[in-house]
Structure 1
Amino acid sequence: MILLIFNIFLWTCEVLTLLVKILGIFLEQLAKYVVPQPRKSIDGQIVVITGAGSGIGRQLSIRFAIQLNAVVVLWDINRESVERLNNEIRLLGGISHPMIVDVSDEKQVESAAGQVRQQIGAIHMLINNAGVVPCLPFNQLTCPQIRRTFDVNVLSHFWTIKQFLPIMEEYGRGHIVAIASSAGIMGSPYFTAYGSTKFGIVGLMSSLRKELHELDKHTQIKLTTICPLGISGTGINIPTRTRFPKILPIMTLDYAVDLMLDAILKEDNLVVLPFTFKLIFFVYRICPLKVSQLLFEFLDYAVEPPGFNAPIGRSHYHNNGNDRDYRNHH
């Protein structure tokens, strides 16, 4: 009897401790929306960015090199675009190192990572951004397209992390960033291959975060997964419709990168952009599937394959190729 009472007492203490910890976490999250959070400095740190030659990767590379004074290692499969970016960064006074790498090829990743360690140093941050975006009805996707999408969008993350995570663990510091998508947390018509890969990235980062926690390395090595809505100006010309652009906007590249950079420097975990979409995503998670489906039919936010037409009165975007001039930020 005494033993039973003692066990009940211990269990009660555990439950109360758990509740206090949960309350503390909620208060901490609430404070982030009230009190401005500090942004870490990466001055002089080495940052590897995949898919650096265009779109999000290009803008992040310029920001890190010029605004934040990082040493940026530019990985891209396209020699012309990455060398052009490297020249631009150096003209603006930044430090960058271009490398031609097909991140879907683990041997190329292994070789390039070895060169980075030997010639530049141990990296502080890895930003996995490279990706391909097939937008087609499921029955029109070819087997090579599906394989290529998974090779570039998912398996490349495994190859790069396997090369750089051990170095981060050895030095006791590091930050891994994955550029995912809203299609990786909610799914989207005509994005079955692309959305599946982005779900895979979210799962990879979530599992790795828990593993680092189990190994007590989560305070040393940070993980950030970014899931944005549609972005214009990336060079990917996929029409997108939105009935309420103030609620579910099609973000400009500059605005989206502003939000991404802020989240990275604050070392946020799962980042859903913009904030209005984050609120809708919260509703989506707690509602029954039929309710969520009705909600998104009402909001009418979706991508469209080539040859499809959006309803009249809906907003569209196409890439206009305009990029901000960063010379004023040097």
Structure 2
Amino acid sequence: MELKSACRMLLFPVQMFYYIVRASLFSLLPSRRKDLSKEVVLITGGGRGIGRHLAKEFAKQGARKVILWGRTEKCLKETAEEISLSGTECHYFICDVANREEVYKQAKVVREKVGDVTILVNNAAVVHGKSLMDSDDDSLLKSQHINTMGQFWTTKAFLPRMLELQHGHVVCINSILSQSPIPGAIDYCTSKASSLAFMESLTLGLLDCPGVGCTTVLPFHTNTEMFQGMRLFVYNCCHLGISTYNMFPHLFPPLKPEVVAQRTVDAVRADKAFLYLPWTMHALVILKSFMPQVALEEIHKFSGTYTCMNTFKGRT
């Protein structure tokens, strides 16, 4: 028994190396994209921002039906009308994902009126944009309820039917701030870190469930109303006579929401589990995993991320 255990220990590094090399090679090969013509896509926070562009992109890529959830009827209606004009059937429902009973109730209405949801996109999110001591309790709770707990309720509402059909996909629009937090957005960073843990656990839990997959998208700062006024650290070295943006224009570009939407839909079609946008965010996560805290603090001071939320206005 001891000899068998020793052999397993010796083989373990070899096996890990094999799986890493194998996965790396497969990632370089062009993968087959799945057809969306039979998919019914539900997008939370689908009336504006990234959600609106996701709805348009899924419709463009051939989704059979698109369903929008959100709290603002005006935005939902405008987006639904635009998609319907493009030739794709689109429905919208008023739903606050932070309200568990409302999620379950509207999920039942969706099944009855539209049909089974086969792609769930958890996109709804809010950001308070203040330090811990400047934040009121209700605002902090709101961020956690919408950004994190909302995913629990929507996934519980739609995943069982996907498992029954052996066909479905759960998507989460997360943020790189879940792995590399910044000051001034403690509510958002915390909720997104929880959301990432939820998706990582869910992805592993569905490995033995044929036909059902997950995709987690971790984008860098995206130009949407939600982060209006946020000052990007790539511009904050002017006091040193340095323009970081000019030095590294391709490493840290602010993302366009339509690009995030395009890459997200492509990742879903390719059954990709995790998507970092841009690709340089991989390096950021790797560096953080082994750099000492003192070095990370110096980088934050140099780049100006300590003050990047000082001009934050958010969605007006």
> Are 1:55 and 2:59 matched, yes or no?
no
Question: Scaled by the length of structure 1, what TM-score is found?
Answer: 0.84
Structure 1 counterpart SS, 2:216: strand
**Cα distance change on mapping 1:120 and 1:21 into 2, 3 Å:** farther
> Are 1:277 and 2:284 matched, yes or no?
no
Once the two structures are TM-superposed, the CA of residue 233 in structure 1 deviates from its matched residue by: 3.5
Aligned to 2:5: 11
Structure 1 spans left out of the alignment, 5+ residues: 1-6, 309-316, 320-330
Aligned to 1:290: 294
Between stretches 8-17 and 151-160, larger displacement belongs to 8-17
Q: Distance in 2 between matches of 1:94 and 1:225?
A: 25
CA contact (8 A) 2:215 2:275 kept: yes
CA contact (8 A) 2:229 2:311 kept: no
Aligned length: 302
CA contact (8 A) 2:42 2:119 kept: yes
Once the two structures are TM-superposed, the CA of residue 114 in structure 1 deviates from its matched residue by: 0.6
Q: Distance in 2 between matches of 1:53 and 1:110?
A: 20
Q: Distance in 1 between matches of 2:58 and 2:118?
A: 12
Once the two structures are TM-superposed, the CA of residue 113 in structure 1 deviates from its matched residue by: 0.7
> Are 1:220 and 2:236 matched, yes or no?
no
User: Percent identical across equivalent pairs?
Assistant: 25
Once the two structures are TM-superposed, the CA of residue 144 in structure 1 deviates from its matched residue by: 1.1
**Cα distance change on mapping 1:117 and 1:88 into 2, 3 Å:** same
Structure 2 counterpart SS, 1:260: helix
Structure 2 counterpart SS, 1:36: coil
Aligned to 2:33: 39
Aligned to 1:311: none
CA contact (8 A) 1:127 1:177 kept: yes
1:185 to 179, 182, 186: 179
Structure 1 counterpart SS, 2:262: helix
Q: Distance in 2 between matches of 1:29 and 1:298?
A: 36
Structure 2 spans left out of the alignment, 5+ residues: 235-243
CA contact (8 A) 1:55 1:234 kept: yes
1:127 to 105, 121, 127: 121
**Cα distance change on mapping 1:240 and 1:307 into 2, 3 Å:** closer
Structure 2 counterpart SS, 1:165: helix
CA contact (8 A) 1:241 1:303 kept: no
2:221 to 207, 230, 238: 230
Q: Distance in 1 between matches of 2:269 and 2:180?
A: 26
Root-mean-square deviation (Å): 2.3
One-letter amino acid of the counterpart of residue 27, structure 1: V
Once the two structures are TM-superposed, the CA of residue 160 in structure 1 deviates from its matched residue by: 0.4
**Cα distance change on mapping 1:230 and 1:73 into 2, 3 Å:** same
Q: Distance in 1 between matches of 2:61 and 2:266?
A: 13
CA contact (8 A) 1:135 1:304 kept: no
One-letter amino acid of the counterpart of residue 174, structure 1: G
1:1-330 matched pairs, under 5 angstroms: 7-15=1-9, 18-213=12-207, 216-217=208-209, 219-234=210-225, 236-243=227-234, 244-245=244-245, 246=249, 247-301=251-305, 304-305=308-309, 307=311
Once the two structures are TM-superposed, the CA of residue 302 in structure 1 deviates from its matched residue by: 6.3
One-letter amino acid of the counterpart of residue 238, structure 1: G
List per-residue Cα deviations over 1:7-62 (Å, max 9, x = no partner).
24422443455444423321233224532233222212111100000000000001
